[in-house]
């Protein structure tokens, strides 16, 4: 490959746009697991220029993106830290740590113009709920779901008081939890940090799959993250559903053990998403695509095993998670000490994945996944049954899910055609209890579930 002189390189970067160079860079980074032998193509400055025209310039160079200090946010942070936002013409993107999910929600309702954010990292189906005013006191702020940040990387932590009772993926004796009150004087208490979204769904799925009704047999409630760890330690709560690195810390600090990893409940499950306010996207479609390209490149970077040590260093830093690097390393390597006599897990594919997994694209926002989250919303009758039927759910998805923008951005960034899904559906999804979700027939799935809201 030709070696450009400094002058030539600078000239082509300013005239052709850095995105053209990045297109070739992306092509050199594909593969699952990614190749451990970098090629000359991975150097963006060594790539030939392709003139994409001045029409590609984003409308704005800034956006304010929220994130939470959990592994799901890695692509947003890496896009900033590695200069990918800048590379695609958005040098002034700000990433803003959110105190919790409720703050992120309130900040996106405000928007960046009023000191808030334009969007960022979300549990599902938060962008839908915010758009329909269901968790914003009726204030509707339409949002677009644009990209999946990751699959896997979450788990259910259980109190050390419950060791030796066979509480794992398949709970040996559900009566230990259902009949908790008889021995403990109160119901089994489980928690998540934000209601009606991923962590709530994971623990509900796990319990129900084990024959335990999360609404009747136990107390299930929302508690701030710091209090979940404290509660587990002091014995006021018995389990909580959370994201890496928290499950690891529970075991490392000998507070409890991991009952189940979410990847055991549903392998390669969709986890968190990137979504922006619809008004921002409608006004800035090119800037939206620039952000998506930067995130895609960051996702590819994050998924290379050889980049994980640097990823841990960046994420654990004071500016971001502010945690000891050692708590992030094992989950980032797919190493989980489950505790309570369960076998250790040591498989990169069992941890958080950002670009590709065993089912194909991680990044692509499949409509079939949005449908699962809305189906579960109906299953548990969240929001007083605001989602009435599948016709309504599908209409919501067609409005909120912008897989079209993902595809355009991927094409413009030079992502290989084979890595751009042609279908809106990832197909059938299979859960640990043998239940199958067929996106073509969500009614059958819902009907088949034994435990659900009446």
Question: Which residues in this chain contact Ca ion in the complex, by CB under 5 A?
Answer: 154, 198, 243
| Closest by CA position to 427, among listed 381, 369, 370, 383 | 369
The least distance separating Ca ion from the CB of residue 247, rounded to whole angstroms, comes to: 11
Residue closer to Ca ion (CB basis): 198 or 377: 198
Beta bridge partners of 360: 357
Query: 314 is written with which tokens?
Result: 């960046």
Q: β-pairing, 219-222 with 256-261?
A: unpaired
- With beta carbons less than 8 A apart as the criterion, state whether 413 and 20 touch: no
CA-based radius of gyration for the chain: 22
Residue closer to Ca ion (CB basis): 217 or 244: 244
Phi, psi (degrees; rounded to nearest 5) at 435? -70, 145
Residue closer to Ca ion (CB basis): 349 or 438: 349
Sign of the torsion formed by the C-alpha atoms of 192, 71, 30 and 16: positive
The least distance separating Ca ion from the CB of residue 270, rounded to whole angstroms, comes to: 10
Tell me the C-alpha distance between 355 and 361, whole Å.
Answer: 6
Residue closer to Ca ion (CB basis): 12 or 336: 336
The least distance separating Ca ion from the CB of residue 349, rounded to whole angstroms, comes to: 18
Residue closer to Ca ion (CB basis): 34 or 331: 331
CA-to-CA separations, 216 to 64, 165, 237, 252, in angstroms, rounded? 41, 21, 17, 32
Exposed / middle / buried, residue 408 (Cβ in 10 Å: 0-12, 13-18, 19+): middle
- With beta carbons less than 8 A apart as the criterion, state whether 295 and 78 touch: no
Tell me the C-alpha distance between 339 and 259, whole Å.
Answer: 8
The least distance separating Ca ion from the CB of residue 67, rounded to whole angstroms, comes to: 12
Residue closer to Ca ion (CB basis): 112 or 154: 154
- With beta carbons less than 8 A apart as the criterion, state whether 146 and 285 touch: no
The least distance separating Ca ion from the CB of residue 70, rounded to whole angstroms, comes to: 6
Which residue has the CB atom at the shortest distance from Ca ion? 243
- Cα–Cα–Cα angle for 152, 262, 354, rounded to 5 degrees: 0
Query: 446 is written with which tokens?
Result: 């819902």
Question: Counting every residue, how long is the chain?
Answer: 454
The least distance separating Ca ion from the CB of residue 372, rounded to whole angstroms, comes to: 15
Query: 293 is written with which tokens?
Result: 């390209």
DSSP character string of 200-262: HHHHHHHHHHTT--TTTTSEEEE--HHHHHHHHHHTS--EEEEETTHHHHHHHTTSEEEEEEH
Question: How many other C-beta atoms lie within 10 A of the C-beta of residue 344?
Answer: 10
The least distance separating Ca ion from the CB of residue 152, rounded to whole angstroms, comes to: 10
Residue closer to Ca ion (CB basis): 154 or 316: 154
The least distance separating Ca ion from the CB of residue 272, rounded to whole angstroms, comes to: 5
The least distance separating Ca ion from the CB of residue 366, rounded to whole angstroms, comes to: 17
Residue closer to Ca ion (CB basis): 199 or 375: 199
Residue closer to Ca ion (CB basis): 154 or 368: 154
Residue closer to Ca ion (CB basis): 19 or 198: 198
Residue closer to Ca ion (CB basis): 269 or 293: 269
The least distance separating Ca ion from the CB of residue 167, rounded to whole angstroms, comes to: 21
The least distance separating Ca ion from the CB of residue 16, rounded to whole angstroms, comes to: 39
| Closest by CA position to 446, among listed 395, 374, 359 | 374
Name the residue with tokens 């970067």.
Answer: 13
3-state class (DSSP) for residue 128: helix
């Amino acid at each position: 490959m030709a070696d450009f002189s400094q002058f030539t390189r600078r000239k082509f970067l300013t005239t052709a746009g850095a995105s053209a160079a990045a297109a070739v860079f992306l092509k050199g980074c594909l593969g699952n697991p990614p190749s451990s032998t970098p090629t000359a193509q991975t150097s963006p400055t060594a790539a030939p220029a392709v003139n994409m025209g001045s029409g590609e310039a984003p409308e704005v160079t800034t956006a304010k993106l929220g994130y939470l200090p959990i592994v799901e946010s890695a692509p947003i942070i890496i896009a900033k830290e590695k200069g990918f936002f800048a590379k695609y013409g958005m040098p002034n993107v700000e990433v803003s740590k959110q105190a919790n999910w409720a703050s992120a929600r309130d900040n996106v309702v405000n928007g960046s113009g009023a000191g808030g954010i334009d969007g960022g990292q979300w549990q599902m189906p938060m962008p839908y709920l915010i758009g329909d005013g269901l968790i914003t006191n009726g204030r509707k702020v339409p949002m677009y779901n644009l990209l999946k940040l990751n699959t896997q990387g979450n788990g259910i932590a259980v109190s050390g008081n419950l060791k030796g009772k066979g509480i794992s993926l398949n709970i040996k004796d559900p009566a230990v939890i259902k009949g908790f009150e008889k021995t403990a004087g109160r119901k089994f208490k489980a928690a998540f940090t934000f209601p009606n979204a991923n962590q709530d769904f994971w623990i509900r799925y796990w319990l129900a799959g084990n024959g335990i009704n999360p609404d009747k047999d136990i107390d299930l409630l929302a508690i701030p993250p710091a209090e979940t760890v404290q509660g587990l330690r002091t014995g006021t709560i018995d389990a909580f559903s959370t994201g890496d690195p928290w499950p690891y810390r529970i075991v490392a600090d000998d507070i409890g053990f991991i009952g189940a990893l979410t990847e055991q409940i549903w392998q390669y499950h969709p986890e968190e998403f990137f979504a922006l306010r619809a008004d921002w996207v409608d006004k800035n479609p090119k800037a939206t695509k620039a952000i998506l390209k930067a995130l895609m490149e960051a996702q590819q970077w994050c998924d290379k095993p050889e980049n994980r040590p640097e990823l841990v260093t960046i994420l654990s830093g004071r500016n971001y998670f502010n945690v000891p690097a050692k708590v992030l390393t094992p989950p980032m390597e797919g190493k989980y000490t489950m505790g309570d006599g369960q076998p250790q897990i040591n498989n990169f594919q069992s941890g958080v994945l950002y670009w590709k997994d065993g089912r194909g694209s991680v990044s692509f926002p499949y409509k079939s996944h949005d449908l699962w989250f809305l189906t579960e919303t109906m299953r548990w009758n969240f929001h007083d049954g605001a989602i009435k039927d599948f016709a309504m759910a599908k209409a919501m998805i067609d409005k909120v899910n912008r897989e079209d923008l993902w595809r355009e951005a991927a094409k413009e960034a030079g992502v290989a055609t084979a890595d751009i899904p042609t279908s809106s559906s990832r197909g059938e999804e299979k859960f640990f209890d043998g239940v199958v979700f067929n996106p073509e027939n969500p009614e059958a799935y819902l009907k088949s579930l034994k435990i659900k809201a009446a």
